[in-house]
Amino acid sequence: MEMIIKETAETTSITAARWVARLVREKPNAVLGLATGSTPLKLYQELIRLHQEENLDFSEVTTFNLDEYIGLPRDHEQSYYTFMWKNLFSQINIDPKKVHIPDGMAPDIPAACAAYEEAITQAGGIDLQVLGIGSDGHVGFNEPTSSFASRTRIKTLTRQTLKDNARFFDGDESQVPQHCITMGIGTIMDARCTLMLAFGKAKAEAIAAMVEGPVAAVVPASILQHHPHAKVFIDDEAASGLQRADYYRWVYDGKPEWQIDA
Ligand code: PGA
């Protein structure tokens, strides 16, 4: 894993956006895996700015989102479909036909999950997967003890995740859908590179477990230790539980010019 630690969520997100932009410029038909939640908002804002002010072109880009709640219609204000169109897609020149978000209202969910996997394969696989981390260590909605070999499927959210996400549902945990469709850990690990973002003290413990703890299914994100090209962009607060934070900063600051891609 490559650790990139910046002072604030904003500076971290701008650095991460540079990496995404570099890929899209080098490979205009890149396949991006995208995430929702509070964490990637500033990354998306910066990508929108790059599109509007620096001509970053998304017209040939294909996207696959990580997850979606089961039982929320697409036009529900808290569906991840609504989130993506509101916070990114409506403000860039993406081709709607190239956007993929799991359908939480699909009549046959297992078939929809299998079709999602097939669509990723048909698109040539994911070049870069944006990820957040749950305070319980989940990645996508792969909750603790998820199989490292898992593919897109139904999952049941933990009580902790329901609690964490209640803020989007008027603070009412009982309004948060208990089930979701999520890419599996195997699906995420197949991405050619991964871009994890985490900000704030509330993520410090999960980040420390992911980066410096043992690889274990109880901390699903820890599997990224096995990924050949995983970058982790975090702010100082999210880095505050890391034992070797000074080393990671030293490595990043000392990167030779030719190696700097973010
Ligand atoms: P958050 O969620 O960005 O809203 O903190 C991250 C996640 O649950 O993966």
Among 46, 51, 67, 164, the one annotated catalytic: 67
Ligand 1 pocket residues where CB is under 6 Å: 37-39, 132-134
pLDDT digits over 93-150, tens only? 999 999 999 999 999 999 999 999 999 999 999 999 999 999 999 999 999 999 999 9
What is the tens place of the pLDDT at every residue in 82-103? 999 999 999 999 999 999 999 9
The atom number, within ligand 1, closest to the CA of 133 reads 9
Q: Which residues contact 54 (CB under 8 A, 6 or more apart)?
A: 21
**Span 169-174, average pLDDT:** 95
Can you tell me the mean pLDDT for 3-28?
Answer: 97
Q: What is the pLDDT of residue 257?
A: 80
143 included as an active-site residue = yes
Phi, psi of 117, rounded to the nearest 5 degrees: -60, -45
Separate counts of helices (H) and strands (E) for the chain: 8, 10
Q: Are the beta carbons of 129 and 191 closer than 8 angstroms?
A: yes
Q: What is the pLDDT of residue 209?
A: 98
CA distance 48 to 231: 21
Who's near 22: CB < 8 A, 6+ residues apart? 261, 262
Determine the residue type at 139. Answer: V
- pLDDT single digits (tens) 204-228: 999 999 999 999 999 999 999 999 9
Q: Is 67 a catalytic residue?
A: yes
- Mean pLDDT, residues 35-58 taken together: 98
State the DSSP string of 65-98.
ESEEETT--TTSTTSHHHHHHHHTGGGTT--GGG
Q: What is the pLDDT of residue 49?
A: 98
Ligand 1 atom at minimal distance to the Cα of residue 202: 5
Q: Using the predicted structure, report yes or no on whether residue 260 has a pLDDT greater than 80.
A: no
Read off the pLDDT band of 259 (50, 70, 90): confident
CA angle at 60 for the pair 231 and 124, rounded to the nearest 5°: 60
Distance CA 100, CA 94 (A): 11
- The Å distance, Cα 42 to ligand 1 centre, comes to 13
Kindly state the average pLDDT of the residues 6-35.
Answer: 97
Distance 231 CA to ligand 1 centre (A): 17
Token pair recorded at residue 250: 């030293």
pLDDT at 74: 96
Residue 136 a catalytic site member: yes
Cα 208 to averaged position of ligand 1 atoms, centre (Å): 16
Assess contact for 215 and 146: CB atoms under 8 A.
no
Domains within the chain, CATH numbers bracketed: 2-253 (3.40.50.1360)
- The kind and range of the H/E element at 12 are helix 9-26
Tell the residue nearest (CA) to atom 1 of ligand 1: 37
Q: In the predicted model, is pLDDT for residue 55 greater than 90?
A: yes
Q: What is residue 192's predicted lDDT score, i.e. its pLDDT?
A: 98
What percentage of the chain reaches a pLDDT higher than 70? Answer: 100
pLDDT at residue 197 tops 80: yes
- Between the CA of 133 and the centroid of ligand 1 the distance, in Å, is 6
Catalytic residue among 103, 117, 143, 236: 143
